Structure formats: C-alpha cells, structure tokens
C-alpha cells in the first residue's frame, strides 16, 4: 500500500555486524510521501512535511528585555552621571504613544514596545531615582547604548524558516509555531505498522493459560515502542506456526501497512517454512547478526496480493528482550526514516561500570543497566539482574542499555562504557 521501490537485498543468510546491518537497512529505505494538515494541538510528535515559514517578524517590534527606563543611548556621556526625566510608562501590550525628547525617558516593562526615539533600556536595579527632582540617574559605565533592547525580527525574519521539514515536533516547537500565529501544519501521514506475534505457545493476556503456554508480551511492548515513535499500529494479534495462517496474515498486513513487524518464528528451528513462504512474497534476507541478544533477524520487502503493494518486513526474534533490543537497534531509526523524520543523533552517555563484564570481540552486546550518580558526581552504571534474552523483568528494572561494541573486549571495574538511556527530557 505504499510507494516503496525495489530492494537491493538478496535473499539468503548473511553474517553481518550490527553496523553493517543498520547501514544495509538505511540504504534500502525511502520515506513515504503522503501528507495531511493537522491543528496545532494535534501536532505533537508528528513529522513536518514542509518547512514552517514565518509570516511575521519575531519579535514584531523593537521591545524591552528588562523592567527599567528607556531612553536615547546617544545621550549617555562618558565619565559623568546621566540624568533623564521620566515622562510616562510603556507596558507590554500598551505602548507609550508620545514623543521622547532629549533628556527624557520612559518607564518600561519587559516586552513593551520601545518608544520612538529610544534605543536603550537601563534595568531599574542599575539606576537611581533622585528624591527631589524624580530624575533617573545613571552612573558612568553602567550601561552602553543599545543594551536590553530586543530588535524587531532578531529571532526570526519575516519569510524565514522557523522549523525545517523532517522535524519531529516537540513541545517547544508547538510554542514556536503558535508564536507565529499559525494554527495548523502540514505533516507526513503517520507510518502504518502492522504488528503480530507468532507462536503456537502464545496466548493473549485475556485468555486462559493452557498447559505449556505463555502470554504474548512482545505485541504489547512493541506496540508501546511504536506508539512512542508516533506510528499508527495495525494490531493483527496472534498467528499460529502454520504456513497458511502466516500467509493469510501477511497478505492482510501488506495490504494495510507500510511496515510489517513480527516477532518469533525466525530462529533456526522455525525458520524453514517461514523462509520458504517469505521467498515467494519478496526478497527477505535472513540475517545472523553478530550481536547478543537477538541474533536471528529478517528484513526485506514483501509483495502483496495486488500489484504495486509492498511493505517492509522486520521479523524480530521471539525472546522478549531480544525482540525489544532488535527493535531499538534496527527498526527504530528505520521507521523514523520511512516516516520522513530527519534523524536526531542518539546522545550516548559514557558511564563507569560498577562491575567487570566479560565480553569477547567480534559481536555487539546490549546489556540491561541502571545508570545512577556516584558519590563523586560521576555517572556509573550497574548491570540489572539476569541477562537472559527472555527475562523482561531485568529490562523493566533497567533505565538504559549498556552497549558493548563489536570490537570491544572485557570490561574491568571502573572502565567507561557506552550507555543508551531509555528516557530523555522531552
Ligand atoms: P522464537 O523466536 O519463535 O523461537 O521464540 C523464542 C522464544 O521466545 C520462545 O521461548 C518463545 O516462546 C518466546 N516468544 C516468542 N514470541 C513471544 C511473544 N510474543 N511473547 C513472549 N514470548 C515469546
Ligand atoms: Mg516461535
């Protein structure tokens, strides 16, 4: 259902590093193109489809940056106390309309329009008022001409680009757009992601748990991760390990969505029929990525039952932690790229490891950790509990992933390691 081009990928097993896998995915994708107009209050997290151009100068007038007195800075004389007679008051939203003559000043509030003839504001705490004459007295050297005046258009010129296309709209951007008097923006349509879990042993949380079965957790954690990214989720539920059921669900998924996100069914024991089925639908590559957790992973374009419908398949491993880690490592940036977002670099923290970590070079490892501040103020990270690929609790207790790169060897106590934080400020 989308405008995806042909894939450069070849089907088959590939041994790849994390970096190679990420680069291969990024090179294959082109963003979707549809857009829509949304009101400002609905725009948070959406991707701008076009630059936001300012229809006004911001600020619209020269105005005061301080509470104080506005006057003509040319009247300041070096080395002597300058005196100005106040002749009125300028409030934010209520300008002083009169003329300001030589030796005169106007009491002014922050944000008030600068009166004609004034170009300088002395903050009230930096001047004195003569008890007898009421004159405002400014000692030499306290202020220079032009200070504490915000100039018309200094934040943004009329016709200037306030926000670039590709920006994922943040709270401050909503404020910035509102400050221009704009009430709606053109955003990319949401990326549609069809999501399902595979496995005969899986039950929905609202079903009885039959012998030997487990509850499907991946669909819920992945749904949350997709929602955080502003994606539209098409929930296709649970699918049994059965070629006909899988085929039918994939057909529905490709017809409805830009991306098909699955978990389970790509590990060695189960991959054979999945592989045969996917081979008939597109050019999906099965990768053995040199990483832990999350080695089995499949990616590529799938053709639908009607001509010209294609979706990108991201088939994640079934183990709950591996599914989430591979989502963050491979799918997150790819989905943002497809959604038309300009990538913001992930800020990587370096923290001291509180324990030794055994690691051999030649694969990337992602361990669950908790970052905290040590007594000396430095950031430190502790690995949370058991690191088994199926143990969600230690992922839930974590606030970060400790990322040990492809070439990295074992870590000693106190060594610095890279950390990807789960939550940020905005
Ligand atoms: P698979 O990749 O299908 O071989 O699954 C690997 C492990 O993850 C097995 O123990 C599965 O039971 C488990 N698993 C697969 N899918 C899910 C799911 N959606 N929720 C929880 N566990 C799962
Ligand atoms: Mg399975």
Q: Report pLDDT digits (tens) over 364-406.
A: 999 999 999 999 999 999 999 888 888 999 999 999 999 999 9
321 SS3 class: helix
Distance CA 183, CA 176 (A): 11
- DSSP symbol at 167: P
pLDDT at 71 (0 to 100): 98
Nearest one of 385, 405, 404, 403 to 395, comparing CA atoms = 385
pLDDT at 11 (0 to 100): 40
* Architecture of the domain spanning 14-34+189-338: 3-Layer(aba) Sandwich (3.40)
The residue whose CB lies within 8 Å of the most ligand 1 atoms, and thus the one to mutate among 263, 265, 268, 296, is: 263
Local confidence band at 343 (pLDDT 50, 70, 90 cut-offs) = confident
pLDDT at 386 (0 to 100): 84
The structure tokens listed for 80 are: 């002597």
CA of 396 to the centre of ligand 2 (A): 22
- 249: number of Cβ within 10 Å: 20
pLDDT (mean) for 83-103? 95
pLDDT (mean) for 415-423? 97
- pLDDT of 4 higher than 60: no
What are the strands of the beta sheet with 136-138, ordered from one edge? 120-123, 68-71, 104-108, 82-90, 136-138, 128-129
Distance CA 168, CA 343 (A): 9
- pLDDT of 267 higher than 90: no
Cβ of 264 closer than 6 Å to ligand 1, yes or no, is yes
pLDDT at 394 (0 to 100): 92
The residue whose CB lies within 8 Å of the most ligand 1 atoms, and thus the one to mutate among 203, 210, 319, is: 319
Helices then strands, counting H and E runs in the chain, come out as 8, 27
- pLDDT of 283 higher than 70: yes
- pLDDT of 103 higher than 90: yes
CATH of domain 37-57+159-188: 3.90.105.10
- pLDDT of 5 higher than 50: no
- pLDDT of 272 higher than 80: no
Q: Is there a contact between 297 and 351 (Cβ–Cβ < 8 Å)?
A: no
Cβ of 166 closer than 6 Å to ligand 1, yes or no, is no
- pLDDT of 34 higher than 80: yes
Phi, psi of 394, rounded to the nearest 5 degrees: -70, -25
Which ligand does the CA of 200 lie closest to? 2
Q: Which residue has the tokens 């401050």?
A: 172
CA 245 and chain centroid, separation: 36
- pLDDT of 409 higher than 80: yes
Cβ of 270 closer than 6 Å to ligand 1, yes or no, is yes
Question: Which of ligand 1's atoms lies nearest the C-alpha of 238?
Answer: 19
pLDDT at 8 (0 to 100): 42
The residue whose CB lies within 8 Å of the most ligand 1 atoms, and thus the one to mutate among 197, 198, 199, is: 199
Distance CA 114, CA 146 (A): 11
Q: Which residue has the tokens 């079903």?
A: 207
* Minimum CA distance residue for ligand 1 atom 8: 319
* Architecture of the domain spanning 348-421: Beta Barrel (2.40)
The residue whose CB lies within 8 Å of the most ligand 1 atoms, and thus the one to mutate among 264, 287, 293, 323, is: 264
* Minimum CA distance residue for ligand 1 atom 7: 319
pLDDT (mean) for 148-177? 96
CA of 321 to the centre of ligand 1 (A): 10
| pLDDT tens-digit map of 143-161 | 999 999 999 999 999 999 9
The residue whose CB lies within 8 Å of the most ligand 1 atoms, and thus the one to mutate among 215, 262, 318, 390, is: 318
CA of 261 to the centre of ligand 2 (A): 15
CA of 16 to the centre of ligand 1 (A): 23
- 365: number of Cβ within 10 Å: 22
Asked whether the CA dihedral 380, 384, 387, 390 is positive or negative, the reply is negative
Cβ of 201 closer than 6 Å to ligand 1, yes or no, is yes
CA of 320 to the centre of ligand 1 (A): 7
- pLDDT of 357 higher than 90: yes
Nearest one of 256, 245, 233, 251 to 198, comparing CA atoms = 245
Distance CA 59, CA 290 (A): 54
Whole-angstrom CA distances from 70 to 83, 87, 98, 143, 149 are 12, 11, 13, 12, 9
CATH of domain 63-150: 2.170.190.11
Q: Across the chain, what does the average pLDDT equal?
A: 93
pLDDT (mean) for 312-330? 96
Domain boundaries along the sequence of the chain: 14-34+189-338, 37-57+159-188, 63-150, 348-421
Cβ of 217 closer than 6 Å to ligand 1, yes or no, is yes
Question: Which of ligand 1's atoms lies nearest the C-alpha of 198?
Answer: 16
Cβ of 197 closer than 6 Å to ligand 1, yes or no, is yes
CA of 16 to the centre of ligand 2 (A): 23
- pLDDT of 38 higher than 70: yes
Local confidence band at 3 (pLDDT 50, 70, 90 cut-offs) = very low
Q: Which residue has the tokens 């911001």?
A: 58
Q: Is there a contact between 236 and 195 (Cβ–Cβ < 8 Å)?
A: yes
Percent over 70 (pLDDT), the chain: 97
Distance CA 64, CA 114 (A): 6
Nearest one of 260, 252, 319 to 284, comparing CA atoms = 260
Q: Which residue has the tokens 């301080």?
A: 66
Local confidence band at 13 (pLDDT 50, 70, 90 cut-offs) = low
pLDDT at 14 (0 to 100): 67
């Amino acid at each position: 259902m989308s405008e995806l081009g042909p894939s450069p990928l070849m089907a088959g097993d590939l041994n790849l590093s994390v970096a190679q896998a990420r680069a291969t995915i990024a090179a294959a994708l082109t963003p979707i193109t549809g857009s829509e107009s949304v009101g400002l209050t609905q725009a948070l997290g959406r991707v701008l489809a076009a630059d936001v151009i300012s229809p006004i100068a911001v600020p619209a007038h020269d105005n005061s940056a301080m509470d104080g007195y506005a006057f003509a800075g040319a009247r300041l004389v070096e080395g002597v106390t300058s005196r100005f007679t106040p002749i009125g008051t300028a409030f934010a939203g209520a300008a002083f309309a009169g003329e300001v003559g030589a030796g005169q000043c106007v009491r002014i509030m922050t944000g008030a329009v600068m009166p004609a003839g004034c170009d300088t504001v002395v903050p009230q705490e930096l001047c004195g008022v003569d008890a007898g004459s009421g004159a405002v007295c400014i000692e030499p050297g306290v202020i220079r001409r032009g200070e504490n005046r915000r100039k018309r258009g200094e934040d943004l010129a009329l016709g200037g680009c306030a926000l670039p296309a590709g920006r994922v709209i943040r709270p401050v951007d909503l404020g910035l757009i509102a400050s221009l008097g704009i009430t709606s923006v053109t955003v990319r349509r949401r990326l549609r992601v069809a999501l399902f879990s595979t496995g005969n042993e899986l039950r929905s949380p609202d079903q009885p748990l039959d012998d030997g079965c487990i509850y499907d957790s991946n669909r819920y954690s992945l749904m949350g991760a997709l929602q955080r990214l502003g994606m539209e989720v098409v929930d296709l539920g649970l699918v049994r390990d059965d070629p006909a059921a899988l085929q039918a669900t994939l057909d529905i998924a490709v017809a409805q969505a830009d991306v098909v996100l699955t978990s389970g069914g790509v590990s060695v024991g189960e991959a054979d029929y999945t592989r045969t089925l996917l081979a008939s639908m597109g050019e999906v590559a099965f990768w053995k990525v040199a990483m832990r957790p999350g080695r089995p992973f499949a990616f590529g374009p799938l053709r639908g039952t009607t001509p010209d419908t294609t979706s990108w398949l991201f088939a994640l491993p079934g183990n709950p932690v591996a599914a989430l880690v591979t989502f963050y490592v491979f799918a997150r940036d790819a989905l943002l790229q497809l959604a038309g977002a300009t990538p913001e670099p992930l800020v990587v923290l370096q923290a001291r490891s509180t324990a030794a970590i055994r690691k051999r070079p030649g694969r990337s490892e992602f361990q669950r950790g908790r970052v905290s501040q040590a007594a000396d103020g430095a950031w430190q990270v502790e690995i949370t509990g058991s690191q088994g690929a199926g143990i969600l609790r230690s992922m839930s207790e974590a606030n970060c992933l400790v990322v040990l790169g492809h070439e990295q060897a074992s870590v000693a106590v106190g060594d610095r390691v890279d950390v990807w934080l789960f939550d940020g400020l905005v």
